[in-house]
A and B are shown apart, each in its own frame.
Chain A
C-alpha cells in the first residue's frame, strides 16, 4: 500500500452520482508482520476521529500488530486514514504506559496499588460529602471512552452522588453541534448521513477542514468531485486548505472571512435566499416557525455589508448563495471553524436555517452534518456524561427527570435539575474558587487542550482541589494529579460507540491491558462499590458488572427517546456493518436519515431544551415555549452579528487561531507514539501569510515569538496559506515528550495564547478569537517542521528562506527506519 503520510487520502475510486461508493480495503501491519502471521482479526471501529470507520484489529501473540478497514461497513467501505492506519495501536505497546496506580507522596507521584489509590479517592470523597455535600464533586471526562462507561459514570454522578458538575472534553469540540441541533430541531441528533455525499449536487463545508480532520469522509467526497458529474464545493475557511482548493477546482467558492465574523457571513447568505425567492415558502409555512423574524434579522446583511465586515468579495457571497439556492440537493458540514469561533451556536444554527428555508433536510443528498470532533463524543452527549441528562432528556422538564428517577429508582431530588448540568469551563472555575474540592478527570488532557494554559495549570497545580487523573499515559495533566489511575485503552476492553452520523459500532477486546491497568468501566464500578451507592430499596445503584450488561441498561434508558437503542444488542452489532440509531421495533435495521417526515422533535413533551436567546444564552421558560406551540415544527432562529470579544489593536495587530493537522489527534497521547505520524509532524509551528511575513521580515523556518495578552510561544514560522492578518497555530503540542532542557525553553503550546471565553449557548470555548503579535527571534536555516502535504504546505508564491526550499520538508533521514514506538522529537530550537 502507498505511504499514506504522503498520499493522505489514498487512491481515487471515482463514481457517478447516485451510485454506491466503491470499496477499497486499507490495511497496515507492523513492520515484519505478514498477513499469514495474524492469528485473529478482532472487530472494532477506529477512534482517531469522529468518522468511526469500521475496522478489524490484527492480533498475534496477544499483541495488537495491525489494523484493516472493514469492506462491509457503511461508514468507510474498507478505508482507513493515516491516523487509523499508523496510530491505532502503536501506543499500546509503549514502555511509557501507565501500568500501576500512582499516588502523591511528599509532593511526588509514586507507584502504588489499587487498594491504596482508590482508598484515597474514596476517603476524600466521603469526607467532602460529609462536610460540603455533593456540589463539592466534579467530573471532567472525554470523547474517547465507550458508551457503557459514560452511562455508568452518568448514573454514578447524577443518581449516586447527585452532582451537576459533570462534563466532557466534548465541550471543547462538539458542544455547539448538540446545541445547534437542540435550538433548531428540539433535540440532539444528526439529521443527515454520510451517504448523502453520493446524492448531493453541492457540498458546503463551514469551518471544516475535512481533508485533515476526517480523511476518509474527504476521500468519499473526492470520489465524487473527481467523477464526471462532480458536486460543486463551497468552503468557508480562513486558510487555503485542500478543501478550499477543491472548491475552486469544482467551480464552487472559497470564502475566507476575517476570523470571528462567521455570523455576519451566514446572515448574508441567508438574506440572499430570501431576496432571490429561493425559500420554499409552502414547506417553511408548514414545517417551521420564525421565518418572518429571521428575515428581519438578516435584512441588514447585504453582500456589500458582508464584504465590509468579513473582508470577502461581495460577488463571492452572491455566488455561494446562488449555489445553495439553485442546487436541488445540498449537503452541509460544520466543524471547529464555526464551533470554536465567535457566536458559534448562532452561526451553526444559521446552517440549519438555510437547509430549513430550502426544505433540504431528511432526503437523499439534502442534509446537514454538524460534525463531532471525537469518536465517542456522541455517546458523551447521549449518556449524560456531559452537560445533558441521559437519553436527551430535558433537565427543565419535570416529567423527564421523574422518568429518569423511576428508571434508577432514586428520589427525583437526587438528580440535579435546577439548571443545566455544569459546563467544563465553569467546573474549572469552581475548582479555581475552591468550591469543587474533588475533580475526577478521565481520558483527557486539559493542561494542554483547554484555553489559557497558564490559568489551567495553576488550577491543576493548586492542592486546594484533590485531582484524580485516569489515563493511558502520564499526560501533562496527570503530572499534576493527586492520584493517577492506569486505564485500558481501545482494543484492551469491550464497548460500543457512536460516530457523527449516529452509526453504532461494537469494539471487542483484542488483547489484555498492560500490568494493573483496568478498563474505565471497571474503575468507575470500583468507586461505586466502595462508596456503596444504593437505590431507594437499598439495592446497588449500579446493577451491572460487564460492558454488555451496561449496554442493556443503557438500552432501557434510551427507550422511546430520539436516540432509541432498544433494537440494538451486542449480537446485532456483531454483523458486517455498524447500525445508525434510532433502532427499535419501528426501524429494526436502524435509521439512515432523521426527519424524513418533516416532523421535528420540538413538541414540548419531547424536546431536550426549551431553547435559548442566541445572543446571551438566557433560557426560554417552559411556559413561553409551550405558548409557541411548536408541535413538531422546526425553529428558525437568528441573531445579529456582534464584534468578537478581542479584536486587533496597535499592540496586538494580528488575529490568532488554533487548529489541527491531519497527522495528530488532540494532544498526541496516541499519535506521537506512532513513529510515522510523529515524523510527519514532529514539532509545533505557526503559519503566517506571505504578506504579513514580508512586513515582519520573517522567512520560512525562522524562530518567532507569538504573544497575546495571556502568554507566548516560540516556534518556527511556516509561510503558508493562512489569510493575511491571521496567525494559525496547531494545538496538539504540549511538553510530555520534551526532555528537561527543552522544557525550560519558552512554550510551544498554542493554548498559552487563547482566552477564557465561551459561547453563550453551547458554552464551547472560543479557541479562534484572540489578538496577537509576532516577531522574529532568529533565523534557523531550515524549513518549519510543518507538514508539506496539507493546508500547512508552504505558500507557492514565495520561496522559503534557508537552504532546500519547500520540497525539503520531508522526514529527516535519521528517523526513517525508526521502529513504531515512542520517540522524542527534537525541539525546534
Chain B
C-alpha cells in the first residue's frame, strides 16, 4: 500500500470535517439566512466528494489516523463542534471554515499531483473537479467575510 492511501484517508476525514462544520455553522447562525442556506449547499459539495472517493479507496486503500499512520497525523483537524455567538462570532467561525477548506484544497492538490504521476485518469478528474469545488467553497467564505468584517469589527454590539 502506498502513501496515497494515507492521503485518501486524510481527504475523507477533512472533507467530512468540512461538511459537518459547514452544517454546524449554518445551523448555528441560522438567523443569517444566507449563511444557513449556502453552508448547506457547500456541505453537499463535500458530500459528493466523499462519495466519489469510494472507488478510489477500493483501488488504493484508505488509511486513517491511528492505523499505523505516522504522518500526516498533525494535519488531522477537528471540525467545529459549537458555534460562537454574534457578528464577531460568525466572522471567526467563517475563518475556521476557511482553514478547514484550505486543508481540503491542499490535500486535493497533493493527490492531483500523485494522480498525474500514476497516470490515473479517474483520480485526476476527481481531484481537479473537487479542487474546483473547494475553490468555490473558499470563494464564498471569503466573499462573506469581506462583507461582514467592517460591521462586525466596528459597530456590532
Chain A interface (Cβ < 8 Å from any Cβ of B): 132-133, 135-136, 416, 418-420, 422, 425-426, 429-430, 432-436, 613, 615-620, 642, 645, 756-758, 760
| Stretch of B91-99, B119-127, B144-152 that contacts chain A | B144-152
A-B contact pairs, 8 of them (CB 8 A): A133-B155, A420-B147, A429-B31, A435-B87, A616-B38, A620-B139, A758-B33, A758-B34
- Taken together as a complex, chains A and B put the C-alpha atoms of A760 and B32 apart, in Å, by 13
Cβ–Cβ contact B136 & A613, under 8 A: yes
In the complex, A416 Cα to B155 Cα: how many Å? 15
Q: Is there contact, CB below 8 Å, between A618 and B140?
A: yes
- Indicate whether B154 reaches chain A with its CB closer than 8 angstroms: yes
Inside 8 A of B33's CB, which chain A residues have their CB?
425, 756-758
Q: Shortest Cβ distance from B141 into chain A, in angstroms? A: 8
The one of B32, B41, B143, B157 that contacts A435, using a Cβ cutoff of 8 Å: B157
Given contacts A419-B147, A425-B33, A615-B41, A135 and B140 within 8 Å (CB-CB): no
Cα of A136 to Cα of B157 in the assembled complex, Å: 11
Cα distance, A615 to B156, chains bound together (Å):
29
Interface residues on B, range: 20 to 34
Q: Do B87 and A433 touch (CB < 8 A)? A: yes
Q: Do B139 and A619 have beta carbons less than 8 Å apart?
A: yes
Report Cα–Cα, A370/B87, bound state, in Å. 36
Contact yes or no, B136 A133, CB < 8 A: no
Find out whether the CB atom of B38 lies under 8 angstroms from the CB atom of A642: no
In angstroms, Cα B151 to Cα A807, docked, is 57
CB contact under 8 A between A418 and B136, given known A435-B156, A618-B142, A760-B34: no
Instruction: Contact check, B154 vs A133: say whether CB atoms are below 8 A apart.
Output: yes
The residue in chain A whose Cβ has the minimal distance to the Cβ of B33 is A756
Flag if B147 contacts A616 (CB, 8 Å): no
Chain B residues with a Cβ under 8 A of chain A: 31-34, 37-38, 41-42, 86-87, 136, 139-140, 142-143, 146-147, 149-151, 154-157
Given contact pairs A420-B147, A433-B157, A642-B41, a sample of 4 additional A-B residue pairs in the complex whose CB atoms are under 8 Å apart:
A418-B149, A426-B147, A436-B155, A760-B34
Tell whether, in the assembled complex, residue B136 and residue A645 are in contact, meaning their CB atoms are under 8 Å apart.
no
**Interface of B: prevailing SS:** helix
* A135-B150, A418-B150, A429-B32 known; A619+B143 contact, CB < 8 A: yes
Q: Known contacts A618-B142, A760-B34: does B42 contact A435 (CB below 8 Å)?
A: no
Knowing A419-B147, A642-B41, the reply to whether A434 touches B157 (Cβ < 8 A) is: yes
Q: Which residue of A lies closest to B40 (CB)?
A: A645
Interfacial chain B residues near A613, Cβ < 8 Å = 136, 139-140
* Residues of chain B with a CB closer than 8 A to A135's CB: 150-151, 154-155
Q: Using Cβ atoms and an 8 Å threshold, which residues of chain B touch A642?
A: 41
Q: How far apart are A164's CB and chain B's nearest CB, in angstroms?
A: 8
Give the CA-CA distance A135 to B156 in the complex, in Å: 10
Q: Would B143 and A618 count as touching, CB distance under 8 A?
A: yes
Residues of B within 8 A of A430 (CB): 151
Known: A645-B37, A757-B37. A616 touches B136 (CB 8 A): yes
Find out whether the CB atom of A618 lies under 8 angstroms from the CB atom of B139. Answer: yes
Q: How far is the CA of A133 from the CA of B33 in the complex (A)?
A: 26
Q: In angstroms, how far is the closest chain B Cβ from the Cβ of A340?
A: 15
Q: Does B146 contact A615, Cβ atoms closer than 8 Å?
A: no
Q: CA–CA, A425 to B34, complex, Å? A: 10
Q: What is the CA–CA distance of A684 and B72 in the complex, to the nearest angstrom? A: 64
The 10 lowest CB-CB distance pairs between A and B, nearest first, are A618-B139, A618-B140, A419-B147, A616-B140, A435-B155, A756-B33, A135-B155, A618-B143, A619-B143, A434-B157
Tell me the bound Cα distance from A615 to B150 in angstroms: 25
Distance (whole angstroms) from the CB of A446 to the closest CB of chain B: 16
A435 nearest in chain B by CB position: B155
Task: Judge whether A132 and B155 touch: CB under 8 Å.
Answer: yes
Contacts of B143 on A, CB cut-off 8 Å? 419, 617-619
Are A616 and B41 neighbours in the complex by a CB distance under 8 Å? yes
A418–B146 CB distance below 8 A? yes
**Are B157 and A616 within 8 A (Cβ)?**
no
Nearest chain B CB to A475 CB, angstrom units? 25
Please give, as numbers and ranges, the residues of chain B lying within 8 Å of A416 by CB-CB distance.
Answer: 150
Given A419-B147, A429-B32, A756-B33, also A617-B154 (CB < 8 A): no
For the complex formed, measure the closest distance between the CB of A131 and the CB atoms of chain B, giving whole angstroms: 10
Which residue in chain A gives the minimum CB-CB distance to B30?
A756
